[in-house]
Amino acid sequence: MTRTALIRPESALEGALTRRETPTGVADWGALGVRSAAGLAALLPAEVPFETSGSTGRPVTWWRTGEQLAAEAELLAARLSGAEPDAVFVHAPLGHLYGLLLGCLVPALLGVPAHYLRATDAPPSGPDSPVVAAVPSTWWQLERSVARLRARARLTVVHSTARLPDDAVTRVGQALPELRLLELHGSTETGLVATRSSAGADWTLAEDVRFTAPAALDGPELLAVTSPRVARAAFGPYLGEHLLDDEVLRTGPRSYRLTGLRRRLVKVNGRRVDLRAVEERLRAALPAVEVSSRTFADPVRGEWYDLLAVGGEPERRAVQNAAARLIPVGTGPRAVRVVPAVLPGAGAAPAAPGSAALPRAAAAGHRVHDVQEGPTR
């Protein structure tokens, strides 16, 4: 039997802050004796940088103060304290804001150990009321571990950074009716904006967040919020407000429903990908090939996309090779698929697997437009 590595919490925090490392093993955060946001902030640098993924352009650094991080951890710990957690199972990387909060700062305030797990690791035995800091692939592992999880008195799953894999969430919820969900909505720039406790519910703003302006009168709007936890861009001041990429429909004075993302953004395991920018990059590299994209829900990544190349195998290979060169690692397509070209008057082109019929392509004098399966966020 492999012995679980024991990690000093100070070492885990230092590795997360300076090297963006995520250890494998267990850290007992209760040993620090931290019980307040002020005590937690004293362990943190004055400011901590977080980078966007760079998948929608060049990476951008956003700075958060130690007080901002501690205040957000206090909000989250208060939401979780009612579940009487005795451990946190961490699947999120500590180098990201969500991972640092749920993997280090929240366990410190709750005074419980954190188990740092790989995506393929089953939930460890022992803790009776664990909190799971999930990413999309976590739900696949939870579904495989239902028999082991049924023995727990309570199970709370926190999900952030990406779209919920709805089918897996439904199956896990049916198998574990006592499971409690806490879903977080926010960004690197804003931190936590809102929460909800069921997959189909509206989002409710966190206590220290408010809408920046009155609701739009004509339907969805871009989400603009004011909060003392909004980060600052490099060389910029703390402005306290931010305009997100999310389109929302207000449903109350402090609630909203997500309706999509501007700029055709998708989140692949929490990393934003601008499909329009991806297509433009590929079209510039391959001006003789028509390229489009199609998004879909994915049980492991939350959502993903395919690239579609008009023509045959040579065009598919050209797009595949260009994508490997030009798209950042971790944000590439699931696959590159062929869409046969159609001559004028020859009838509609066969649809790519799982997609709606595509419009006629270059031979008919039209660009292939993207085909999306439902809204994304």
Mean pLDDT of 308-327: 92
Residue 353: pLDDT band (50, 70, 90) is very low
* Residue range(s) of every CATH 3.30.300.30 domain in the chain: 270-372
Compute CA distances 34 → 31, 109, 140, 372, whole Å.
8, 6, 34, 47
Q: How confident is the model at residue 329 (pLDDT cuts 50, 70, 90)?
A: confident
55 has a pLDDT exceeding 80 = no
Lowest average pLDDT, out of 82-96, 145-159, 229-243, 322-336, goes to 322-336
Least confident of 19-28, 101-110, 171-180, 260-269: 260-269
pLDDT confidence of residue 213: 92
Q: How far apart, in Å, do the first and last CA atoms of the chain sit?
A: 42
181, β-bridge pairs? 157
* Helix spans in the chain (H): 9-19, 37-41, 66-81, 97-100, 106-110, 136-144, 146-149, 166-175, 275-285, 313-326
What architecture is the 6-207 domain classified under in CATH?
3-Layer(aba) Sandwich (3.40)
Q: 302 or 284, which is more confident?
A: 284
Average pLDDT value for residue range 337-347 = 61
Q: Boundaries of CATH 3.40.50.12780 in the chain?
A: 6-207
CATH number of 270-372: 3.30.300.30
Region 310-335: mean pLDDT is: 90
Alpha carbon distance 218, 223 (integer Å): 14
Predicted local distance difference test score (pLDDT) of residue 269:
67
The residue whose two tokens read 């989140």 is 267
